[in-house]
Structure 1
Amino acid sequence: MKPISDYNDYRLYIRDFYEERKLMTGLSWRGFNKMAGYASPRFLKLVCDGKSKLSSVGAIRLAKVMGLSKVQSSYFLALVSYCNTSVERRKQVAYEHMQAIAKDEKVRIVGDDAYDYYKDWWNPILRELAPRVAVAIPAKIASLFYENVSSEDVRKSLDFMVQAGFLKKNKKSYVQTDKAILGSSEKIPKAIRNMHKQMAFFAEKAVDNFSVSDRNFSGMTLSVNRAAYDQIVNELDSCRKKIAAIVSAAEECDRIYRLNLQLFPVTKEIEK
């Protein structure tokens, strides 16, 4: 499902949300309406068909049902206002609000510079860390890493990310040009695989190196078929996007974490 900031019609977003959940969980219009607090089993379908409108109160309620983050909910409410009003001035105000939120929540899809960005494990960490250091001197930044990284590597990485547009230099400090970066595994499979291996190794060390108050590990061993696997992958992808939204909304962050989402086979396929 596309990011909510890609939508200019809340009806299309609701329909896409419903169709995705219908495919994944068997959700019906009746069930969807019940979850949203509507007595009519057809109301939301009528909304999506353009035969009814969602009120502002209903939009707030539905945003919670769809599990939208605070920022995503703000965009959704502005989207409802934009689509429902016929007053040009109100429509313009709502649209400008939508644009501001979309810009703030912009996700950069790494393309030509992807390999260089992902080939060194410290680049994603440094991109989060550098803007939070008041005086971003390479030696000082390097000292904040738990794993060994040289000040020269930090300097080269900062220069690369400024040149590639991932960071912007402001005198002695740095700012991010986008809120988040998502890599395309189709374009850069080797670099991302190497990154996953390195971060998995760090995760192994973290089990012993950090107290349970500073790290969270959990796992499940599951019996699945292909359909269940695909559904789980979709849920993990949705979860990752929600976490990205939480992080984008957070202010005055004081530590950098790594989140690994892993799902892999531990046996061969069982012959029937």
Structure 2
Amino acid sequence: MKPLTEYRDYRRCMQDFYDERKRTCSFTWREFARLAGFTSPTYLKLVCEGKSSLSELGIERVASAMNLGGFESAYFRHLVRYNQAKDDEAKKNAFASMKDIADANKIRVVDGDAFTYFESWKNPVLRELVAMMPGATPEAVAEMCWQPVTADDVRKSLDFMVSVGILQRKSKNVYVQTEKALIGNSDVMPLVLRSMHREMAGFAQKSIDAFEPQERDISGVTMGIDREAYEQIVRELDSCRRKIVAIANMSKEPSQVYRLNLQMFPLSKNTKQKGEE
């Protein structure tokens, strides 16, 4: 069984515990259930198969049956909450708790660094901004952000980005960007990126009134299309985004941080789908 902090699915964790015990002794689902205090001999098997879930009391019982103590018990509790969360906010909060527990015990969580980076608009914005302001104090950097941010927020963000290698500290208050990218591969990343997109979409809405038209560009088109056209448009948007990044990278003396949102979403149901009202 691998270390607990490497799991993103508590059911897989329980199954691995069961399989490992079964290899070394005559362990059964009945015995596992008995250790956890459940009367149904197949209950935990159903949980591992995704046909049932754990209650808060059940979480504690299973953690005890698996001999999880100390921080592992707390980590398992939040792992179950992460998997059983009903919405993105609850799921995000559970993963953040998992990461805090792992950090406190000097254990790295898979995709944890990428989660932290994309969890807030502050990190990507400050990464760009400090490269334009060599020698600027955290207070001065904070004042350059349109969205509220404190000097302490700036310090914490910069320290984090230096620690994961996407910024390099050359001297006091002088930072340069590295070529390293933070990439996440688990189901955590779509979750935190959705949160980032919501945050940035909110900023875009506010920009309509906050900035003069010559300082921002907001446009849109409403159209009727089929699936083939949709997929072709998405490819064009992706190509356009890549070209824009290339243009941005050619900036000789960047002086301001901008955000570009590319958004395409349905405004109606699919009229060709059967059975819909």
User: For the superposition of Structure 1 and Structure 2, which TM-score range results when normalised by the shorter chain?
Assistant: 0.5 to 0.7
What CA distance in whole angstroms lies between the structure 2 residues aligned with 1:184 and 1:230?
23
Provide the residue aligned with 2:156 in structure 1: 156
Partner of 2:250: 249
Alignment of 1:29-178 (within 5 A): 113-172=113-172, 173-178=174-179
The answer as to whether partners of 2:113 and 2:182 remain within 8 angstroms in 1 is no
Aligned partner of 1:24 in structure 2 is none
Where does residue 10 of structure 1 map in the other structure? none
Alignment of 1:13-28 (within 5 A): none
Which amino acid is 1:192 matched to? L
1:206 and 2:207 are equivalent in the alignment? yes
Identity of aligned residues (%): 47
Q: Residues 254 and 183 (structure 1 numbering): CA distance in 2 closer, same or farther, change over 3 Å?
A: farther
Output the amino acid matched with 2:217: N
1:121 Cα shift? 1.2
Match status 1:270 vs 2:265:
no
Q: Which moved more, 1:172-181 or 1:214-223?
A: 172-181
Aligned match of 2:222: 221
Equivalent residue pairs, number: 163
Q: Residues 261 and 199 from structure 1, CA distance in 2 versus in 1: closer, same or farther, beyond 3 angstroms?
A: same
Q: Which amino acid aligns with 2:200?
A: M
Task: Assess if the C-alpha contact under 8 Å between 1:179 and 1:248 holds in 2.
Answer: no
Q: 2:105 corresponds to which residue?
A: none
Q: Which moved more, 1:172-181 or 1:192-201?
A: 172-181
Compare relative contact order (CA 8 Å, sep 6+) and give the higher one, 1 or 2.
Answer: 1
C-alpha distance after superposition, 1:19-62 (max 9, x if no partner)? xxxxxxxxxxxxxxxxxxxxxxxxxxxxxxxxxxxxxxxxxxxx
- C-alpha distance in 1, partners of 2:250/2:181? 11
2:193 equivalent in structure 1: 192
Over 3 Å counting, the alpha-carbon distance change for 1:183 and 1:121 in structure 2 is farther
Q: What's the CA shift for 1:178?
A: 2.2
Could you tell me whether the CA contact under 8 Å between 2:166 and 2:180 is conserved in 1? Answer: no
Distance apart, 1:134 and its partner CA: 2.3
Q: Which runs of 5+ in 2 are unaligned?
A: 1-110
CA contact (8 A) 1:168 1:175 kept: yes
2:170–2:176 Cα contact (<8 Å) kept = yes
One-letter identity of the residue aligned with 1:249: M
Deviation at 1:114, TM superposition (A): 1.3
Query: CA distance change for structure 1 residues 180 and 115 in 2, over 3 Å: closer, same or farther?
Result: closer
- Please say if residues 167 and 175 of structure 2, whose CA atoms lie closer than 8 Å, have aligned partners that are also in contact: yes
**5+ long unaligned stretches in structure 1:** 1-110
Shift of 1:186: 6.0
SS in structure 1 at match of 2:205: helix
Structure 1 segments of 4+ aligned residues over 2 angstroms from their partners:
178-187
Distance in 2, Cα, partners of 1:182 & 1:251: 27
Contact 2:165–2:180, Cα closer than 8 Å, also in 1: no
